[in-house]
Amino acid sequence: MTTPYYQYDLHLLQRTLDELLDCISAHPGWHVHYAIKANANPLILEPVRKSGLGIDCVSGFEIEAALKAGFNPSGIVFAGVGKADWEIDMALRNDIFCFNVESEAELEVIQERALIQGKTARIAFRVNPDVDAHTHSNITTGLAGNKFGINLDLLEDIVARSMEMKGISPEGLHFHIGSQILDMNPFAELCSRINGIQQKLKNTGFTARHINVGGGLGVDYGNPEDNPIPDFRSYFDTFSRHLALQPGQELHFELGRSIVAQCGQLITRVLYVKKNPGRQFAITDAGMTDLIRPALYGAYHRIVNRDSSGQPQKYDVVGPVCESSDIFGKDRMLNEVRRGDTLAIMSAGAYGETMASRYNLRRLPGSTSLEAD
Ligand code: LLP
């Protein structure tokens, strides 16, 4: 297959899904919606759908992709701080499970669109819990200064107002504190924040049917070979121990990265080895347009030379794009690299292919399964 391309290990994906299902089966009334923004490749969506997970979407086109892949609309949650009217309309037409509403202004538009269709929109309030996830600042979402969610001080008024609105059925509370979180303490903190909010909301007479705690569980980018499957058990245990669910209340999760990150690798060919005094570059045919995480977040991805058993040497692995941030890794020890070798950039299954762009008018990366490659 022409490089660069994403190669997905569907066997590992299945093992990951099996572990997830095994952990969650201990908790009746708990549901996982796969965050399709992490990876919307049909190769990935099929096993995810077969495993019975719902879907978390943030755009009309994600809803379209989910429906096309055969997901049931009754398992679709629709989040996003800026839903366009056409996106709200299509979600209503398809009777999705729930809108995660981020502001009073959005609530009014959803009401208006629902009344036009003669429907009632099930909604959850996306609350900004003001919890620090201690992750990269670009992927922190639950702090009061972020654009996401309804400010805690405004929540009671909005909830009270929604209860009087026709076309709106307030049903849940939604939270998301950030991504790539490996320390369980921020999740525990989120739980105690939710417990407080539930107490406070009692004044309004609103009891949520469901609580949605978003996603965010991280993966081991440093050592994917030894830790291919994330620690779902500790993650779910944290909620089980710290969250005081009301009787009959269901709990929803929106996990993306933890399900798909480790099953994907970006395969790229070395075009040139450039030797400067004191530094050598392995110049690959993949660039930041294929995998933007290192350039955008300074993210670490392990890189291995699949074709060489030569003496390890130090390389800067860089792409061909005309941007100095187009670097996959600096000072990486790789088995001696020659022109034509293929490198695997590991743990690239989440936020890799979906974030690819055509900058420099480059081709989008292809994809295949490890089994077919
Ligand atoms: N729910 C909401 C409301 C979200 O905003 C996100 C991710 C998720 C669920 C899924 O989170 P996960 O389980 O995957 O952590 N492009 C960045 C990550 C951005 C995450 C955006 N929101 C990256 O490559 O690290």
* pTM assigned to the model: 0.97
Span of 1-15, 51-65, 119-133 with lowest mean pLDDT: 119-133
Pick from 231, 241, 232, 156: nearest CA to 199 = 156
User: Locate tokens 């392995």: which residue?
Assistant: 282
For residue 100, give the ligand 1 atom closest to its CA: 3
**What pLDDT is recorded for position 134?**
74
* Cβ proximity of 217 and 257 under 8 Å: yes
Residue type, 338: R
Helix and strand totals (H; E) in the chain: 10, 17
Q: Quickly state the pLDDT bin for 144 (edges 50, 70, 90).
A: low
**CA–CA dist 328, 294 (Å, integer):** 6
pLDDT in tens, 11-42: 999 999 999 999 999 999 999 999 999 999 99
Q: What percent of the chain has pLDDT over 90?
A: 91
Span of 122-126, 138-142, 162-166, 367-371 with lowest mean pLDDT: 138-142
Tokens of 307: 């074709």
For residue 351, give the ligand 1 atom closest to its CA: 24
**What pLDDT is recorded for position 165?**
97
**Mean of pLDDT values over 105-125:** 97
CA 189 / ligand 1 centre spacing (Å): 19
For residue 255, give the ligand 1 atom closest to its CA: 13
pLDDT in tens, 43-59: 999 999 999 999 999 99
Ligand 1: which residues within 6 Å by Cβ? Answer: 35, 38, 56, 79, 139, 141, 176, 179-180, 214-217, 254-258, 293, 297, 351
Pick from 2, 7, 6, 15: nearest CA to 259 = 15
Residue nearest atom 5 in ligand 1 by C-alpha distance: 176
pLDDT in tens, 42-101: 999 999 999 999 999 999 999 999 999 999 999 999 999 899 999 999 999 999 999 999
* Cβ proximity of 311 and 335 under 8 Å: yes
**What pLDDT is recorded for position 136?**
67
**Mean of pLDDT values over 319-329:** 97
SS3 for 336-349 is CCCCCCEEEECCCC
Which residues make Cβ contacts (< 8 Å) with residue 91, sequence separation at least 6? 60, 63, 76, 78, 83, 99
Q: Does residue 214 register a pLDDT over 90?
A: yes
* Cβ proximity of 94 and 67 under 8 Å: yes
CA 52 / ligand 1 centre spacing (Å): 20
Q: Does residue 142 register a pLDDT over 80?
A: no
Tell me which of 179, 181, 235 to substitute to probe ligand 1's pocket, judged by most ligand atoms within 8 Å of the beta carbon.
179
